[in-house]
């Protein structure tokens, strides 16, 4: 494995999506429209995004011994992702996500993790060399927290740069945050981690500085159509998103993280890396699906 490679440790799901006029409220049944299935999972989405944008990607994950798992591995292979570290769990099914997307491109998601929840530190230990020979480790929180922590510790031992996408939001120990180089919450995740409701640039900076105090030098809060707020050392700046007509925002954050990993693996300055990630995420929301929405390098005006 080349030192310029990206290792993604995370989840793989099959997304089952229904389009509807609006998202249902509690106890509400609504008639939807189009149904389709897509490959998804935050880890897999980010791995595919990075691969399509030119990254040399290895994916560490666990799928079930079922049709969803086999289809996922076949798709990763077609995307040029190294699948030698994707494990098969014969006791648990592959992960599944149920997604509703409304006419405003907003969504709600429920995930049944299946084999993702069985990806344990012992599994990661078999791939220590793979992680430690990479330039970037990218992790999320759809796998057990102890597995995330073990992967990060493995990377830090050899000074591999760590990007943590803290999604879905949950409590993260300070000792883990202190090992993270870059953290990428959205507004909701930043609010849950800091107690600061992120509603504008000023509140985003307050939240980012709270996370920085907890040990992360670089904080990037993604702000949807506004772009991303970057706090890198003492540099604080809003990097705007490209103006587009959104169709489906399901995997925009995942595309952002995959693109960010690629840019940083190419040793781009942090501001330039975030601009590249914003451009990729903006293009992705003009398309339906999770992995299917990930752009290719030649589609970006910011290359």
Per-residue model confidence as pLDDT tens digits over 65-106: 999 999 999 999 999 999 999 999 999 999 998 989 898 878
pTM for the full model? 0.92
Flag whether pLDDT at 4 surpasses 70: no
Band of residue 290 on the pLDDT scale cut at 50, 70, 90: confident
Confirm if 293 and 43 have CB atoms less than 8 A apart: no
Per-residue tokens: 236: 């604080």
Give the pLDDT of residue 238.
96
For the segment 274-291, the average pLDDT, to the nearest whole number, is 91
Q: Is the peptide bond before 42 cis (omega within 30 degrees of 0)?
A: no
Give the pLDDT of residue 107.
83
Give the pLDDT of residue 242.
85
First-residue to last-residue Cα distance in the chain: 24
Q: What percent of the chain has pLDDT over 90?
A: 79
Q: Which of 165, 174, 200, 218 is nearest to 10 (CA)?
A: 165
pLDDT, tens digit, for every residue of 24-54?
Answer: 988 999 998 889 888 899 999 999 999 999 9
pLDDT, tens digit, for every residue of 251-268?
Answer: 899 999 999 999 999 999
Q: What positions carry a catalytic annotation?
A: 254
DSSP state of 154: H
User: Cα–Cα distances in Å, from 222 out to 1, 168, 196, 268?
Assistant: 31, 14, 15, 19
Band of residue 158 on the pLDDT scale cut at 50, 70, 90: very high
d(CA 114, CA 131): 24
d(CA 149, CA 9): 11
Give the pLDDT of residue 217.
94
Give the pLDDT of residue 301.
75
Flag whether pLDDT at 282 surpasses 90: yes
Flag whether pLDDT at 289 surpasses 80: no
Q: Count Cβ atoms below 10 Å from residue 283 Cβ, excluding itself.
A: 22
Domains recognised in the chain with CATH numbers: 6-24+32-298 (3.40.1190.20)
Element at 176 (helix H, strand E): helix 174-177
d(CA 143, CA 120): 8
Q: Which of 252, 294, 292, 295 is nearest to 36 (CA)?
A: 292
| Bridge partners, residue 15, by sequence | 38, 97
Q: Which of 218, 211, 162, 174 is nearest to 189 (CA)?
A: 211
For the segment 107-117, the average pLDDT, to the nearest whole number, is 91
Q: What percent of the chain has pLDDT over 70?
A: 98
Give the pLDDT of residue 2.
52
Flag whether pLDDT at 184 surpasses 80: yes
Strand ranges for the chain from DSSP E: 6-9, 13-19, 35-40, 57-64, 86-89, 95-101, 107-112, 136-139, 161-164, 182-183, 218-222, 228-232, 235-239
């Amino acid at each position: 494995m080349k030192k310029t490679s990206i290792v993604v440790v995370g989840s793989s799901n099959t997304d089952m999506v229904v389009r509807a006029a609006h998202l249902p409220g509690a106890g509400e049944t609504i008639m939807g429209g189009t149904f389709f299935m897509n490959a998804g999972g935050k880890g897999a989405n980010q791995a595919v995004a990075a691969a399509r944008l030119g990254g040399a990607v290895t994916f560490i994950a666990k799928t079930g011994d079922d049709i969803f798992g086999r289809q996922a591995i076949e798709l990763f292979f077609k995307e040029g992702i190294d699948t030698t570290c994707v494990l098969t769990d014969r006791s648990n099914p592959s992960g599944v996500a149920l997604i509703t997307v409304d006419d405003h491109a907003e969504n709600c998601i429920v995930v049944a993790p299946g084999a993702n929840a069985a990806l344990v530190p012992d599994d990661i230990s078999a791939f220590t060399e793979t992680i430690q020979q990479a330039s970037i480790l990218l992790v999320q929180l759809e796998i057990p927290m102890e597995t995330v922590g073990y992967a990060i510790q493995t990377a830090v031992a050899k000074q591999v740069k760590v990007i943590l996408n803290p999604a879905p939001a949950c409590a993260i120990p300070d000792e883990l945050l202190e090992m993270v180089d870059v953290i990428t919450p959205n507004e909701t995740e930043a609010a849950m981690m800091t107690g600061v409701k992120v509603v504008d640039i000023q509140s985003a900076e307050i939240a980012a500085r709270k996370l920085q105090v907890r040990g992360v030098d670089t904080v990037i809060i993604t702000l949807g159509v506004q772009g991303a707020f970057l706090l890198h050392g003492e540099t604080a700046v809003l990097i705007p998103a490209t103006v587009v007509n959104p169709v489906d925002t399901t995997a925009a954050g995942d595309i952002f993280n995959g693109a960010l990993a690629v840019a940083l693996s190419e040793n781009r300055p942090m501001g330039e890396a975030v601009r590249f990630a914003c451009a990729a995420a903006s293009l992705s929301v003009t398309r339906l699906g999770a992995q299917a929405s990930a752009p290719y390098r030649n589609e970006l005006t910011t290359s």
